[in-house]
Chains A and B, each alone.
Chain A
Amino acid sequence: MVLLVCSAVAVATTLGILASVLFESFVFFREVPLLSFLFGTQWAPTGSPAAFGILPLLAGTILITVIALITATPLGLFSAIYLSEYATPTLRKSLKPVLELLAGIPTVVLGFFAALTVAPFIRQVGTGLGLDVASESALAAGLVMGMMIVPLISSLSDDIINAVPQSLRDGSLAMGATPSETVKRVVLPAALPGIASAIMLAISRAIGETMIVVMAAGLAANLSFNPLAAVSTITVQIATLLVGDQEFDSDKTLSAFALGLVLFFFTLALNIAALRLVRKYRQHYE
């Protein structure tokens, strides 16, 4: 019985999360109409009058996530393919810890690196090319976030690629296909649902990531898709709105919970979809 109660802690946590974000969001939406929250193009919680339109934050989140994915998907996927199809066991043994090490780097460290090394570098290069680069460009945050996701994509894809039965590879190789043709025409198509779910998990991870963007992306919520501009994200706003603020019932702090609600549902939906997809895929090969 005690054990059952302990297991229920996990459920209680989820309920607690839901209850706290829902309750505070409810209070928030009594003050700010839902529609102006969802479709407003201005985010200025401290302005007067304050504006709570989530669109600029969504745009910023999407922009950084897209940059991260463009970086991480090819790197992660090709790493996984190389490790599972080409690397000798010794090479595999020595490269896997590199990816695990990268996966274990705390995001605050990556944020420091993004803000102090990558962002100035991009700015320098951009200025050299005559471009107007913000000192807290979306590109810097997105690139470093991409590197953060590489181990996630590669380890998930590695599992999934290894789950493709060897008999399919043998069948293709015995037809006289080269290893790369085998990968492109047989292994990847067979692993596609699994890889799609890996990428969905990566997206969920990217939109929920906080420290890198807090340190390397901007605070000003610009509705912009320019990777060289400064944008803000949902997580940045949650973090900055609630840090150091003691009063709890202002619209400003409550809006953070509304943003939390949006974030929670986005990531939850992505996770559920990804888990479904991967379960279906597993059944297919068992």
Chain B
Amino acid sequence: MNDASPPLMKPPLPRILADRPEKMAARGVNIHYGDKHAIKDLSITIPDRAVSAFIGPSGCGKSTFLRALNRMNDTIPSCRMTGAITLDGRNINDPDVDPVQLRSHVGMVFQKPNPFPKSIFENVAYGPRIHGLCASKAELEQRVEESLKKAGLFGEVKDRLHQPGTGLSGGQQQRLCIARAIAVNPEVILMDEPCSALDPIATARIEELIDELRQNFCIVIVTHSMQQAARVSQLTAFFHLGTLVEFGDTDKIFTAPTDQRTQDYITGRYG
């Protein structure tokens, strides 16, 4: 499926794609929600070890497309997709690709923190347990600790690992969800407006964390906030009415967009 990628769009390829390998890519993707044509003929290349941000007005399809990247749309009966999405060149919608396995490679963090009604430890141990990643209890404990550390949460919760995860503050809960996602060693982490339910301080903390995580992961973040996209991402894709209008280096999108619609959006004409 990894046909020599045709040029994404007429403007020059984002600089960043030149020095980073492709992690995920979409070619000619169309998504329908019942009668609604939510994504129209979309193609994009997402680089590894970088943060790609999807921005656009509400209802532009950015979350729908994000959910297509780990086949979360499979859970919605009325949702149909055509076209190809690849992970390391492999089509993730191939009949012999199990979404269960795919999702252990492509993790996801949601808009509202959704820790399970279990202890902090059990929340993080959930993934390793179901995927059978740890042979022993000690190994599991170590992995939980590491994941919590990577999510920058360990220091705050190390004394109450066995208390319910729902008792944490909103920002801590979201970091717990990030720790939960990285506990299964994914390659890609999808974040669907991860800070929209958080206060500014918690948001700053998460943004810092995202910046750290990009050393090891391919991160795709959907955000409502253009400032956030500008702060955390290296690549920005602007969605409008189901189409990918513009995609390029973040600094370029925000300083010199080529498309009028992007220009209008970032200057606050609509959105």
A–B direct contact (CB < 8 Å): yes
A191 to B12, CA, bound (A): 53
B33 nearest CB across to chain A (Å): 15
Contact flags (1/0) for A176-211 with B, using CB distance below 8 Å? 111001000110011000000000000000000000
Kindly specify which of A16-24, A56-64, A162-170, A249-257 makes contact with the partner chain: A162-170
**Which of A165, A176, A185 interacts with B114 by CB under 8 Å?**
A165
Contact flags (1/0) for B103-122 with A, using CB distance below 8 Å? 11001101010111110000
A88 to B114, CA, bound (A): 26
CB closest chain-A residue, reference B131: A176
- Check A167 against B77 for contact (C-beta < 8 Å): no
A106 to B127, CA, bound (A): 48
Interface residues of A (CB under 8 A from B): 88-89, 165, 167-178, 181, 185-186, 189-190
Q: Is B260 an interface position by the 8 A CB rule?
A: no
11 contacts between A and B (CB under 8 A): A165-B114, A167-B112, A168-B117, A171-B115, A172-B116, A174-B103, A174-B110, A175-B107, A175-B184, A176-B102, A190-B117
A168 to B118, CA, bound (A): 11
Check A174/B118 contact, CB under 8 A, given A88-B77, A181-B130, A185-B126: no
Q: Is B75 an interface position by the 8 A CB rule?
A: yes
10 more contacts with CB within 8 A, not counting A170-B108, A174-B72, A176-B130, are A171-B180, A174-B103, A174-B110, A175-B104, A175-B107, A175-B180, A175-B181, A177-B100, A177-B130, A178-B100
- Check A173 against B103 for contact (C-beta < 8 Å): yes
**Which of A165, A167, A172, A190 interacts with B126 by CB under 8 Å?**
A172
Chain B residues lying within 8 Å of A167, measured Cβ to Cβ, are 110, 112, 114
Q: Is B218 an interface position by the 8 A CB rule?
A: no
Number of A-B contacts (CB under 8 A): 66
Chain B residues lying within 8 Å of A168, measured Cβ to Cβ, are 114, 116-117
A168 nearest CB across to chain B (Å): 6
Contact flags (1/0) for B182-210 with A, using CB distance below 8 Å? 00100000000000000000000000000
Chain B residues lying within 8 Å of A89, measured Cβ to Cβ, are 77
B53 nearest CB across to chain A (Å): 19
CB closest chain-A residue, reference B183: A175
CB closest chain-A residue, reference B117: A190
Chain A residues lying within 8 Å of B117, measured Cβ to Cβ, are 168, 189-190
A167 to B117, CA, bound (A): 12
**Which of A88, A165, A171, A189 interacts with B177 by CB under 8 Å?**
A171
Q: Is B101 an interface position by the 8 A CB rule?
A: yes
A107 to B116, CA, bound (A): 41
- Check A174 against B126 for contact (C-beta < 8 Å): no
